Each structure stands twice: as structure tokens, then as C-alpha cells.
């Protein structure tokens, strides 16, 4: 079965500092991995994905994420946080080798960037 763990309910970071939001996953095969962001009273917006190839993927708004197969992790990063990055972030996984089309999400991490 697929699963995603986001160990931190909330991450606080000062504006201008680097940020990391953690995600670990479990799939029986090889994963597709995703990050989505949700602003208040809105639906989820796609940030970036890992499908294959380079372990470091770049996405929208200056975010990037690193796929680490040995640690089964896909942490979201940004070199310099902005107050406007404050939102709820979700990691998601889809098992690409099992033939399933299910996207399974983590519980979310609330990012607060302090001015």
C-alpha cells in the first residue's frame, strides 16, 4: 500500500532564511512524487513533481525538492523564504509500477514565514 508521512504539523521560519518541509513515502514499486500548496479557502495548486531522472527537481515560486531513494524522502526546499510562502503544503505519492492511479496525500505541513 502507498503512504506518505509529513512528520511536522507546522514549520516556522524567518523571512529570508532557507526552509525545508519534510516528506517520506512508502510504495511497493517506484514512485511518482508531488508537492502541492493550499492557500486559505482555496483548492490545492501543483508545485513540482519527481517522475524520473535528476533527483533535484525545480518547481513554481522558487521551490525545489530532492528525491532520495535510499531514505525514501522527498523534502521540499527553498533557499530564501517569503512571507507570501505561508500556506499549507502537501506531499503526495503515486505508485507508478503497480498499475494504480491513486494519488495518496500526507497530512500536510503548515508553513509560517515570519517577517
Partner 1 sequence: NAGVTQTPKFRVLKTGQSMTLLCAQDMNHEYMYWYRQDPGMGLRLIHYSVGEGTTAKGEVPDGYNVSRLKKQNFLLGLESAAPSQTSVYFCASSSSDSGDEKLFFGSGTQLSVL
Minimum separation from the CB atom of position 85 to partner 1 (A): 19
Under the rule (CB under 8 A), what is the footprint of partner 1?
6, 9, 32, 34, 36, 42-46, 49, 51, 90, 92, 94, 101-108
CA 91 → CA 15, 16, 115, distances in Å?
22, 23, 25
Minimum separation from the CB atom of position 113 to partner 1 (A): 21
* Nearer to partner 1 (CB atom), residue 82 or residue 88: 88
* Nearer to partner 1 (CB atom), residue 33 or residue 113: 33
Minimum separation from the CB atom of position 61 to partner 1 (A): 16
* Nearer to partner 1 (CB atom), residue 46 or residue 61: 46
Minimum separation from the CB atom of position 17 to partner 1 (A): 26
Rounded Cα distance between 31 and 13, Å, is 29
Those residues whose C-beta lies under 8 Å from the C-beta of residue 11, and which sit 6 or more positions away, are 19, 20, 21, 109, 110, 111, 112
Burial environment of residue 40 by CB neighbours within 10 A (0 to 12, 13 to 18, 19 or more): exposed
Amino acid at each position: 500500500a502507498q503512504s506518505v508521512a509529513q512528520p511536522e504539523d507546522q514549520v516556522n521560519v524567518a523571512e529570508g532564511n532557507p526552509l525545508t518541509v519534510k516528506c517520506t513515502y512508502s510504495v511497493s514499486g517506484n514512485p511518482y512524487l508531488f508537492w502541492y500548496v493550499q492557500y486559505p479557502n482555496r483548492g490545492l495548486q501543483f508545485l513540482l513533481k519527481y517522475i524520473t531522472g535528476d533527483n533535484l527537481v525545480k518547481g513554481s515560486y522558487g521551490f525545489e525538492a530532492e528525491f532520495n531513494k535510499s531514505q525514501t524522502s522527498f523534502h521540499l526546499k527553498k533557499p530564501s523564504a517569503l512571507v507570501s510562502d505561508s500556506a499549507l503544503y502537501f506531499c503526495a505519492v503515486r505508485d507508478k509500477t503497480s498499475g494504480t492511479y491513486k494519488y495518496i496525500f500526507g497530512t500536510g505541513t503548515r508553513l509560517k514565514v515570519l517577517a
